[in-house]
Structure 1
Amino acid sequence: MNKNYRKTENRAQFSLFIDHLDQHISDVNPVRAIDAYIDTLNFDQLAVDVYKPSSSLRGQPAYNPADLLRLYLYGYLNGIRSSRKLEKECRRNIELMWLIKHQRPSYKTIANFRKDHHKLLIQVNRDFVLLCKQLDLVGGELIAIDGSFFHGNASKQSILTKNRLTQQLKAIEQKVQDYHAMLDALDNEESEEGSLDNIKLDELTTKQANLNQMLKELAQSGNGQLSRTDPDARLLFKRGAKIAGYNIQAAVDDRHHLIIASDVTNDGNDQKQLYPMSKRSKETLGVDKLTVLADAGYYETANLHFCTESQITPYVPIPNKSASIKKQNRFTRDHFQYNATNNHYICPEGKSLIPSSSLTIKHNKKQQLYISHSKDCKNCFKKDQCLAKDTTRRKLYRNEYEFAIDEHKRRMERQGEGKMKLRGAIVEHPFGTLKMKAGWQHFLVRGFKKVRGEWSLMNLAYNFTRVLNILGIKGFKAYCQ
């Protein structure tokens, strides 16, 4: 059956018209924006660890780091992170052929660039944030902070805890005892089985020594976990889920949802991150004052105080630590009023709780203990609503940063609800985009230095995409040129 199909060209046919690669890349292709931006970078100033072409006559010259950075930025923008896949794309992808000018680096060269030049990647990411500031794409007044767990290049089984090591050691010790008992029973018999049991006993003894060495290393490190695969990855827990990886912190500006500061940690929670991330953001933006929004996981009194001292206004939900007392129909701390003039607390019945002689350390913080008079409590008809079981006096602790806490509480009562709705709209977008759209939920490298370098590539790719969507490719190119 004859049908009229579109005519095709002969692959072996010579063409009378000579074209060049640039003709196949349109003016609005993103690779032109990548090329224009990389051309603005001064690699000598960005990082001292960027390799220079060898002056030796032996071997081939090194690849230009600018070209390898072009390759990686293109890869991360298009969801291609594997060095082997990037090597393959260099040989068949016309956009990459144009971008890196027909160069074909091996996968090893590509992988080594990401592994060895983490400082450069971090500084390029920071340079792009400063470029966004010059383009007036950053508000610089309000940011939102959040953290998210990313899988590391390590399995959960490769990360050992004290409990896991202790259990394994007990099991080995029991097996060693069993083999000793067996060998004692076969002591007077010369058999091949006895020699095999001796070999097994030696293997168990070696495993026992290795486990004891790991326990010793764990104790010396001061950490609760030890990883033989990735020394910096940790077991992280959230909402019943457990992963082996890192806790990524990001500060997002409210104007265009650009990530203006970030960090890679291995902490299991965000309590210690409020002030460091706020300070880092403030320094990057170069502003005198900053408003910061974060969820309840960032609530920590010392961090609130340090933020206030640095002209950073935080909005963080206050955890309800009095819920158990309230369920017992007892007076919570909120029922007691502080008298700053006389430095004492006044109970609901008008009696005083006076400070003890010195500060005490509670939960690694300096706190002042305030105690009621036992006579006042004994004669009070509301003591059942106030005192815990088997106690004769009420005690309250006042944190050394209580003034910052009180100020923060008043601020949250006035504007907290609206600020928290705004927080979710600002900071949830980047992590959702990175994880769900780009599919970046794990790292390919190991160790803090390398992971921070790869995260900088992820961060750069996210911000780059946002800027191109806002300004357009031609607009961004015009600024770079």
Structure 2
Amino acid sequence: MFKNYTINQTTLPLDMEKYIPETDVAFAVNALVEAIPQKLFDQIEQQLGRPAYHPRMMLKIILYAYTQRVFSGRKIEFLLDDSYRMRWLANHEQISYRTINRFRSHETTAQLLAETFVLFRRQLITNRVIDNEAIFIDGTKIEADANKFSFVWRKATTRYERTLDEKSEAFYQALYQEEILPYLKEERQSDGLTSDQLEEVAHHLEAELHETEAQLTHEKRKEKQSQLKRKRRTYKKYLRRVQADYLPRKQKYERYNQLFQDRNSFSKTDTDATFMRMKDDYMRNGQLKPGYNLQIATENQYVLAYDLFPNPTDTKTLNPFLDSFLAQHKELPEYIVADAGYGSEENYMYINDILHKTPLITYGSYHKESKKKYKENPFNVENWLYLEEQDEYSCPAKRPVSFKRYSRRKDKGGFVRDFKVYECEDCRGCPIRSQCTKAKSNRNRQIQVNNSWRYFKSDCKKKLLDEKTGSIYRKRKIDVEPVFGHLKAQLAFHRFHLRGKQGAKIDIGLALMALNLRKLGNYMEKKARKKKKTSLILTLIIKIRLVFFFRRTIVPDSFVFISARRGSSSSCIILYNRWRRGFLRRFTAWQDLGRRG
């Protein structure tokens, strides 16, 4: 006999929510988006045109699709037909992939996504999932959705533009000597003509050409006609050179220089992407690829904030990333934790003096300086004896290295560092000169000391050796590093799917929030399973205790049946006592297991 199976008959209930488990990630997505304030949706509501799909619904289906490792607009549209979870979130709406892609790349989605991260962090703090004591910062480079061979380099652009400027300058000189362009004499630039000036040249040549053609139509003499025809051919050649060569190339180089900004390269298919050296080099040739530098801040492996930067190094990204975190969440935890890639004097000074927070950031030579070999090396300036009263150092040859002058350096970002320069009085005849310095024989050994940098280094060592702050820093490897592994391995997010910085930021924001929701869903599922397991064990304990309380002197029916067959009640009681002792041992073990839970 089989159960009734009929697929052509309507069955109840029709509410798909009944089929979704309570710990499913779809409920986490629904609760998070529903927590967004309504006033944010009122600001982006449009009064004209056909009524649009509600942004809540659109954000829900895209977020859930990302949790299922579905990033394509067409695949999200297919998932709406295939998954009853997606149908429940979309309220049975059929949405085209074009609508999905338009909403996903719109500026509205960026605002909603920023609000979801703020709400998510607030809920984590309220439910005590995170302590809000520290944030752990790290970065990785992800490849952009751009052609790997559509690169534009700053050095090549500068070289080609310089060659073009030389040609345009020579071209102007030739026209000026022929008195064709007299009005550009005062506007001429020594480094070549700009695109606006080249356009003026083209307009003037066109006017001269039209005037020559008009003269040619009215001229009857053959000698004069031949002169005018030669003049017309010359003007056409000059005009063709300006319009087909000089002007478009100059406009292209000027457009490239605007796109470069502070970068050295960009991609033609995604002008916001910069060419970087990726860790995941699937071509295995060290080739640079267009991408973005992703920076995230985590706690307890939950992503609290993120941002994209065009520069491949992490040192210059920390300060603007902390500013964006502060602008988004209106507060910063006490401890800022990061690896040695962020250790610089500028970052230490910014966190200490401006943000008034505690940096737990190592510097590049931290582990090297902690080794015994470094500490015992007499040629390291850090190990030299310093005489404070004389303001001088003593070199390994016991010669004084006295203060000489102050020095100041300014890097590309505008940060200024101050140094004190010390110089040995006389290095001539020193037996260990070759080991101490590589300077020329007629020059003495000089050292540059940055006291501000030394202070930050000693402060960093002190904090990392402290029990509390050291334990917080040691959490970094198990807090922020696994997030990138989950992003690339579990979520299979290896490349951006939208172009432009705004599109890429929305794309990675959806992926990171999907990671948070997946992790939160697993946490809630484990919590429910633990609670259910504990309740079952407690129920079993209560039932067994009641049995032993009411049947303390009663022999079970099974033992009565055994005694009736054997004809001996004493053997039945012996078996019963053995069974009871064994059961009590197992029962005690179950109790301990329930307490550990």
Q: Would you say same fold, with TM above 0.5?
A: yes
Deviation of 1:469 after TM superposition, in Å, equals 1.9
Going from structure 1 to structure 2, the CA distance change for 1:60 and 1:311 (only over 3 Å counts) comes to closer
Q: Shift in Å at residue 418 of structure 1?
A: 7.6
Q: Secondary structure at the match of 1:260?
A: strand
Distance 1:165 1:34, change over 3 A: same
Alignment of 1:462-473 (within 5 A): 462-472=515-525
For 1:19-59, what per-residue CA distance to the aligned partner results, in whole angstroms no more than 9, with x for missing partners? 443433343433223222322211424x77x63153x4xx5
In structure 1, how many angstroms separate the alpha carbons of the residues matched to 2:466 and 2:523? 34
- Does the 8 Å contact 1:443/1:451 carry over to 2? yes
**Structure 1: gaps of 5 or more residues:** 173-201, 476-481
| Partners of 2:400 and 2:425 within 8 A in 1 | no
- If you compute each CA radius of gyration, which structure gives the higher value, 1 or 2? 2
Provide closer, same or farther for how the CA distance between residues 36 and 330 of structure 1 changes in structure 2, counting only shifts above 3 A: closer
**Alpha-carbon spacing, 1:358–1:168, altered in 2? closer, same or farther (3 Å):** closer
Quote the residue 1:83 is aligned against: 73
* Alpha-carbon distance between aligned partners in 2 of 1:166 and 1:321, rounded to the nearest angstrom: 41
Asked if structure 1 preserves the Cα contact closer than 8 Å seen for 2:266 and 2:275, the reply is no
CA distance in 2, matches of 1:367, 1:353: 19
User: Closer, same or farther in 2 for the Cα pair 1:84/1:339, shift >3 Å?
Assistant: farther
Which residue of the other structure, out of 40, 48, 57, is the alignment partner of 1:67? 57
Distance 1:277 1:440, change over 3 A: same
CA distance in 1, matches of 2:257, 2:161: 15
Q: What corresponds to 2:231 in structure 1?
A: none
Aligned twin of 2:456: 404
Cα distance, 1:90 vs structure 2: 2.0
2:143 aligns with one of 130, 144, 151: 151
What residue in structure 2 maps to residue 289 of structure 1? 334
Match of 1:103 among 93, 96, 102: 93
Q: Which residue of 1 aligns with 2:312?
A: 268
* Mapping of residues 43-442 of structure 1, within 5 Å: 43-45=38-40, 51-54=44-47, 56=48, 59-116=49-106, 117=108, 118-163=110-155, 165=157, 206=244, 210=248, 212-220=250-258, 221-238=261-278, 240=286, 242-253=288-299, 256-277=300-321, 284=329, 286=331, 289-294=334-339, 296-309=340-353, 310-319=356-365, 331-339=379-387, 343-361=391-409, 363=411, 365-375=416-426, 377-378=427-428, 380-391=430-441, 392-399=443-450, 401-402=452-453, 403-411=455-463, 422-442=475-495
Contact 2:25 2:518 in 1 (8 A): no
Letter of the 2:423 counterpart? S
Q: Is the alpha carbon distance of 1:166 and 1:8 closer, same or farther for their aligned partners in structure 2, counting shifts above 3 Å?
A: farther
TM-score w.r.t. the length of structure 1 is 0.76
Q: Which has the higher contact order (CA 8 A, sep 6+)?
A: 1
TM-superposed CA distance for 1:332, in Å, is: 2.7
Counterpart of 1:33 (choices 28, 35, 43) is 28
Aligned partners of 2:263 and 2:274 also within 8 Å: no
- Matched-pair contact (CA < 8 Å) for 1:156–1:243: yes
Q: 3-state DSSP class of the match of 1:72?
A: helix
Supply the AA of the counterpart residue of 1:123: E
Residues 99 and 300 of structure 1: CA distance in aligned 2, closer, same or farther (over 3 Å): same
Query: Aligned residue for 1:178?
Result: none
The count of aligned residue pairs is 431
- Classify 1:207/1:237 alpha carbon distance in 2 versus 1 (closer, same or farther; 3 Å): farther
Is the CA contact 1:121–1:453 (under 8 Å) kept in the aligned structure 2? yes
Q: Provide the C-alpha distance between the structure 2 equivalents of 1:464 and 1:458, rounded to a whole number of angstroms.
A: 10
Deviation at 1:301, TM superposition (A): 1.9
CA RMSD of aligned residues (A): 3.9
Give the drift of 1:463: 1.3
Q: What displacement does 1:150 show?
A: 0.9
One-letter amino acid matched to 2:293? N
Q: Which runs of 5+ in 2 are unaligned?
A: 165-239, 280-285, 529-597
